Homo-oligomer: A and B are copies of this chain.
């Protein structure tokens, strides 16, 4: 069976290729190491790693072998995220072996699909009679959402529609179960994901039903009577996880009030940003002002009051959740990798809603710090939690910090983060530019080639730079024929004194500033060259006075990169070090540091422990001595053995 596709993808009108030294390396890592490694992991062939059992579950559900379901109830989604990453990867570079592997996995998925279109190995194998009885916990729609995203990506890369058709049948099935019509469930998933996936499917196929279903899930959420509460009552107030009685907190699932009335980021942070992403999509597609206003309120609360300087969100591991305004502890932090990836999804969609550079600023912050730092330089080890302060012994010996790891782990029992990183890296080309009217907005400074229509003509824009190490960016604008259109260049919020010249002529620095972009509208001709110069000096950052965890401390930032101190470069305990309030920084590019990076050195003071009079408490303070303070990019931390790390450093005076 093959179904019609009426392409609606806005991205179809443009194409972007990354050609960038910095990101090229990570994208190749994702392609050459992460995706193959994850393929092995899904097949339980990684030595010394917890088995995933994800493929085995499909083989059992497909009837290819006997056995029991193993893993999380959402184990299927790991396969989906891998397939999605494969799709993006194949769109960057054909790879027949990888494509064959993916096709085989898709065949297997097809065999595991039930005659009515239902697809979920947990309920097929383990609880066949219990479909759709515990949306709160069981992730059925969430898994479907990930497969939909995979199907879209795979179709766009290869033109193969097998997975797409599998998922369209599954969505038809879902549509027969959920909806406002009598007899259907007035419910939604405990873990948002299908909402944004259905929009991708709608954009690809033009099928209005998908948009309608996504809108239903979004607008039904938080309505009274509360679906999650009714469901919880009807199953005897127990949770799937332990089978025991459990407390219900609809705010954990952002289902405490209707989404249009929400103003504060609450609950599980990944669910939150996945939902906000779908809300932003719907706001744009349906030109829905009330929904857009809710998105803006939630964005503002999250990024103005609940976001770490690294772009991490979620202050507590209890429920992997937001806590409240200005509560951003550095050591008991959560800041899950997936949550920052979701924040990037949301930011990208807010940029489509409105050309405001602040959305791109946050996207860049999350990308270059929290997300990039989650992956080891070998591509095989990941942080799930991304702390801003680590004392390794506390991670192992204080149970309140057991969730924080001082070293990246091989593969997780709950392996959501690594495939999420892979799918982001392989689709990073979609995050660099947005088009508003006939203006091309440069949201990220990443070496790349953009192609699309502007001012009625085909245009090719080539961006080159040595970002994030240097702030010089060159853009060559090549319209097929001379035409008037706009090029908007983001002025990073961390920068001061950005300069722009066109064909050697420096622009008035005050001209054309719109919502954080320098917008250049003119008649462009082939070969026009824009030179952007963003001062990249290392500087100090301070936190809002209400942010107690960072009070009287400073962080070091250079360009988009947040820096940190590590024990390997400074002496432990790092808590004894302060940065000279008036000291200068020196910046050195060190080839030898983990693939090359700019190291920032400053002067400071250190409590000399040999001057301590002894005992746990004393009237006598240990003397200070001057020290060199060495900071490295946060994203590189923990790649040189286990030791203390911290981002926020007290300031001192001589």
- Which one of B305, B327, B539, B542 contacts A398 once the chains associate, using CB atoms below 8 Å? B327
For residue A316, CB closer than 8 A to chain B, the reply is yes
Closest residue of chain B to A546 (Cβ to Cβ) is B573
CA distance A424 to B332 in the complex (A): 35
Number of interface residues of A (CB under 8 A): 59
Stretch at the interface among A272-280, A456-464, A608-616: A608-616
Question: CB-CB < 8 A to A329: which residues of B?
Answer: 398, 400
Question: CB-CB < 8 A to A12: which residues of B?
Answer: none
CA distance A621 to B650 in the complex (A): 13
Known: A315-B398, A316-B400. A609 touches B576 (CB 8 A): no
For residue A100, CB closer than 8 A to chain B, the reply is no
For residue A3, CB closer than 8 A to chain B, the reply is no
B-contact 0/1 string along A295-330, CB 8 Å cutoff: 000000001110101000001111101011001010
Closest residue of chain B to A614 (Cβ to Cβ) is B544
Closest residue of chain B to A391 (Cβ to Cβ) is B548
B-contact 0/1 string along A592-630, CB 8 Å cutoff: 000000000000000101001001111111100000000
Q: Which of A389-415 contact B (CB under 8 A)?
A: 391, 393-394, 397-400
Closest residue of chain B to A307 (Cβ to Cβ) is B616
Q: Which of A469-516 contact B (CB under 8 A)?
A: 494, 496
CA distance A646 to B398 in the complex (A): 22
For residue A49, CB closer than 8 A to chain B, the reply is no
CA distance A475 to B620 in the complex (A): 31
Question: CB-CB < 8 A to A10: which residues of B?
Answer: none
B552 contacts A617, C-beta separation under 8 Å: no
For residue A101, CB closer than 8 A to chain B, the reply is no
CA distance A196 to B242 in the complex (A): 39
For residue A5, CB closer than 8 A to chain B, the reply is no
For residue A93, CB closer than 8 A to chain B, the reply is no
Question: CB-CB < 8 A to A393: which residues of B?
Answer: 324, 327
For residue A653, CB closer than 8 A to chain B, the reply is yes
A542 contacts B619, C-beta separation under 8 Å: yes
Question: CB-CB < 8 A to A541: which residues of B?
Answer: 617-619
For residue A545, CB closer than 8 A to chain B, the reply is yes
Question: CB-CB < 8 A to A177: which residues of B?
Answer: none
B544 contacts A616, C-beta separation under 8 Å: yes
Question: CB-CB < 8 A to A620: which residues of B?
Answer: 542
For residue A578, CB closer than 8 A to chain B, the reply is yes
CA distance A399 to B251 in the complex (A): 14
Closest residue of chain B to A397 (Cβ to Cβ) is B324
A sample of 10 cross-chain residue pairs with beta-carbon separation below 8 angstroms, ordered by A number, consists of A242-B244, A317-B400, A323-B397, A327-B393, A332-B400, A400-B400, A541-B617, A544-B615, A552-B576, A552-B607
Binding site for B on A (CB under 8 A): 242, 244, 303-305, 307, 309, 315-319, 321, 323-324, 327, 329, 332, 391, 393-394, 397-400, 494, 496, 539-548, 551-552, 554-555, 573, 575-576, 578, 607, 609, 612, 615-622, 650, 652-653
The 4 A-B residue pairs with the shortest CB-CB distance, nearest first, are A318-B399, A551-B575, A548-B575, A324-B397
Additional A-B contacts beyond A327-B397, A542-B619, A650-B650 (9; CB < 8 A): A318-B399, A324-B398, A327-B394, A332-B332, A539-B619, A541-B618, A546-B609, A551-B573, A552-B607
